[in-house]
Amino acid sequence: MNKAALLLGGIVKKTAVFFKIVADKARSSPNFWFLQTVYNY
């Protein structure tokens, strides 16, 4: 694998972890139902 692919893979992995953390926080917050409604459209 070349460096660009490795770098991109690392960025994607970090982004996925970041979004998972955000989703977990949102799930435990009172306005999660609001986020769910927005995502469903």
Grade residue 41 by pLDDT with cuts at 50, 70 and 90: low
**Dist CA 25 CA 20 (whole Å):** 9
- For residue 1, is pLDDT > 90? no
User: What is the pLDDT, as a whole number, of residue 12?
Assistant: 92
DSSP of 3-31: HHHHHHHHHHHHHHHHHHHHHHHHHTSTT
Cα–chain-centroid distance for residue 3?
Answer: 24
Q: Please enumerate in sequence order all residues whose Cβ is within 8 A of that of 26, keeping only pairs 6 or more positions apart, or say none.
A: 32, 35
**What residues make up the domain containing 14?**
3-40
> Tokens 């469903």 correspond to what residue?
40
Average pLDDT over residues 6-33: 84
User: What is the pLDDT, as a whole number, of residue 19?
Assistant: 87
User: What is the pLDDT, as a whole number, of residue 21?
Assistant: 85
Domain count, the chain: 1
Average pLDDT over residues 3-26: 88
Evaluate if pTM is beyond 0.75. no
